[in-house]
Structure 1
Amino acid sequence: MTSKRILTIIGVSIVGLIAIVALATSWYTVDESEQAVVITFGDAGDPITEPGLKFKMPWPIQKVEKLSKETFSLQFGYQQTADGEIVSYDNETKMITGDDNIVLADLVVQWRITSPRDYLFNSEDPRELLHSATSASIRSVIGSSKIDDALTSGKAEIEAATRDLLADLVTKYDIGITVLSVNLQDVELPNEEVRQAFTAVRDAEEQKNIKVNQAGRYENQRFGEANGEKDAIISQATGEKIARVEQARGDVALFNELYEEYRLNQEITRDRLILETLESVLPNAQLYIMNDDSGTMTYLPLAGPRQAAPVATEGSDNE
Structure 2
Amino acid sequence: MNKKYQFGDVEVEVPEFDFKKVLPAFFFAIIIFLVYLSVYSVKADEQGVLLRFGKFSSISPPGLHFKIPVADEVYKVKTSKQFVEEFGFRTIEAGKKTRFSNTYEGESWTLTNDLSVAEVKWQVQYIISNPKDYMFNVKNVESTIRDISESVMRKIIGSLMFDKVIKEGRQMISQDAKYLMQEKLDILETGIMVKMVQLQSVVPPSTVMDAYNQVARALQNMEKMINQAERDSSLKLTEARGEALKIRNQALGYKYRTIQKAEGETKKFLKVYDSYLLDKKVFITTKMIETMTTIYSNVNQLNFVDPSIGAVPLLGLNQSLGNGFENFIKEKNKSR
Q: TM-score, normalised by structure 1?
A: 0.78
Which of residues 170, 177, 199 is equivalent to 2:192?
Answer: 177
Q: Deviations over 1:16-41 (max 9, x none)?
A: 77644431121111211112222222
Q: Deviations over 1:135-194 (max 9, x none)?
A: 1111111111222122222222222222222121211221100111111112232234x1
The amino acid that maps onto 1:27 is V
User: 1:65: which partner in 2?
Assistant: 75
> How far apart in 1 are the matches of 2:228 and 2:113?
32
The amino acid that maps onto 2:125 is Q
User: 1:133: which partner in 2?
Assistant: 148
* SS of aligned partner of 1:47: strand
User: 1:229: which partner in 2?
Assistant: 243
Task: Give runs of aligned pairs for residues 34-53 of structure 1, distance below 5 A.
Answer: 34-49=46-61, 51-53=62-64
Q: Deviations over 1:240-268 (max 9, x none)?
A: 22222221221122112212332234245
The amino acid that maps onto 1:71 is Q
* SS of aligned partner of 1:108: strand
> How far apart in 1 are the matches of 2:264 and 2:123?
90
1:305 CA displacement: 6.8
> How far apart in 2 are the matches of 1:11 and 1:166?
61
Whether the 8 Å contact between 2:41 and 2:65 is mirrored in structure 1 is yes
User: 2:13: which partner in 1?
Assistant: none
Q: Which runs of 5+ in 1 are unaligned?
A: 312-319
The amino acid that maps onto 1:81 is I
> More strand by proportion, 1 or 2?
2
- Counterparts in 2 of 1:85 and 1:246: CA distance versus 1, 3 Å: closer
Task: Give runs of aligned pairs for residues 137-156 of structure 1, distance below 5 A.
Answer: 137-156=152-171
Matched, 1:31 2:43: yes
Which of residues 81, 88, 103 is equivalent to 1:77?
Answer: 88
User: 1:160: which partner in 2?
Assistant: 175
- Counterparts in 2 of 1:78 and 1:282: CA distance versus 1, 3 Å: farther
Is the radius of gyration larger for structure 1 or structure 2?
2
Question: Structure 1 residues 228-237 or 13-22, which shifts more?
Answer: 13-22
- Counterparts in 2 of 1:278 and 1:115: CA distance versus 1, 3 Å: farther
- Counterparts in 2 of 1:280 and 1:99: CA distance versus 1, 3 Å: farther
Q: Which runs of 5+ in 2 are unaligned?
A: 4-16, 329-336
> How far apart in 1 are the matches of 2:265 and 2:303?
29
User: 2:113: which partner in 1?
Assistant: 98
Aligned residues: 300
Whether the 8 Å contact between 2:297 and 2:324 is mirrored in structure 1 is no
1:279 CA displacement: 8.2
